[in-house]
Amino acid sequence: MPVPAVVPDQLRRGPFLGTEAISAGLTTRARLRSSPWRRIFPDVHVHADVEVTHQLRVRAAALRHPDAVVSGRSAAVLWGVPMAGPDDDVELTSSPGAHPVRTAGIRMRRVDLEEREVLRYDGLWVTSPAATAVELAGGPDLDEAVVAVDQLVVLGGADLTVVRRSADAALGPGCRRARTACALADGLAQAPQETRLRLLMRRGGLPTPVDQHRVVHGGRFVADVDFGWPGHRVAVEHDGLWHAEPGQFAKDRQRLNRLTAAGWQIVFVTDADLHRPDQLVARIAAALNPVVR
């Protein structure tokens, strides 16, 4: 005979420990195996109607490991930087002396937590935005490390000066990479592709542009551009997916007309262009001609 689907209101909102729910008389072991429930980790369940996001998986992992600190990409997600999805492992950190418990879907690191700034955020212990930035800055891919730092400054509220100071003082694996990445970050990019584009232009030997340059002509505001060379009235803009939003095309045309009337030349860059760096650098260099040949 099927087990009736009993769903207490207390268990509808988010993840919970099955053993605690059973002890409180809210459910039974047999009912937890019925269709209204989804198992996230061992002994951690959620109602089937609740959307499983990375944030929810972080909360579920914290129930499984209450003494651990949310770190890495998982901490970045909590600070508003979308660096992990619902299928990605949750990243936690515990002290070296903690009892090792392996859980599928949770990546546990063991470091001295006294060396990291940890904050209480929405009921969870999380590495601070600056500490998270330094940790991710030590990753093996330099461009992605710089992207992480930029996004944690722009979206996560980290102070770039504090991040660089912390990276300079860091010791251990990845510390040299972290210092390099933090030095390259500028904390201005509004999207990851802007950071990747800036680094590509830097490697291509182009003159350093002004990031997020505000174009003013005749004493009036014209537009903000991703990268600008004011002395040559040349701008480079990343053409992202948001440009396809309803009504955006007309706004883009009006903006382009204003920039053109102010004497500016715009080089638009798509994601595909980033995979052809030599051609892209040559196109920007041609726009800057005769300064760059």
Q: In the predicted model, is pLDDT for residue 171 greater than 90?
A: no
Q: If you write DSSP's letter for every residue of the chain in order, what string do you get?
A: -PPP----GGGSSS-EEHHHHHHTTS--HHHHTSTTEEEEETTEEEETTS---HHHHHHHHHHHSTT-EE-HHHHHHHTT-----TTSPEEEEE-TTSPP---TTEEEEE--GGGS-EEEETTEEEE-HHHHHHHHHTSS-HHHHHHHHHHHHHTT---HHHHHHHHHH--STTHHHHHHHHHH--S--SSHHHHHHHHHHHHTTPPPPEEEEEEEETTEEEEEEEEEETTTTEEEEE--GGGGSTTHHHHHHHHHHHHHHTT-EEEEE-HHHHT-HHHHHHHHHHHHTTS--
Model confidence pLDDT, tens digit, residues 212-235: 999 999 999 999 999 999 999 999
Model confidence pLDDT, tens digit, residues 120-133: 999 999 999 999 99
Range of the domain at 39: 9-47
Q: In the predicted model, is pLDDT for residue 241 greater than 60?
A: no
Model confidence pLDDT, tens digit, residues 94-117: 987 767 678 999 999 988 777 779
pLDDT number for residue 62: 96
pLDDT number for residue 184: 98
74 and 174, same domain (yes or no): yes
pLDDT number for residue 240: 66
pLDDT number for residue 247: 63
62 and 130, same domain (yes or no): yes
19 and 94, same domain (yes or no): no
265 and 212, same domain (yes or no): yes
In a domain, 201, yes or no: yes
64 and 132, same domain (yes or no): yes
Query: Which pLDDT band, with edges at 50, 70 and 90, does 251 fall under?
Result: confident
Model confidence pLDDT, tens digit, residues 24-81: 999 999 999 888 999 999 999 999 999 999 999 999 999 999 999 999 999 999 999 9
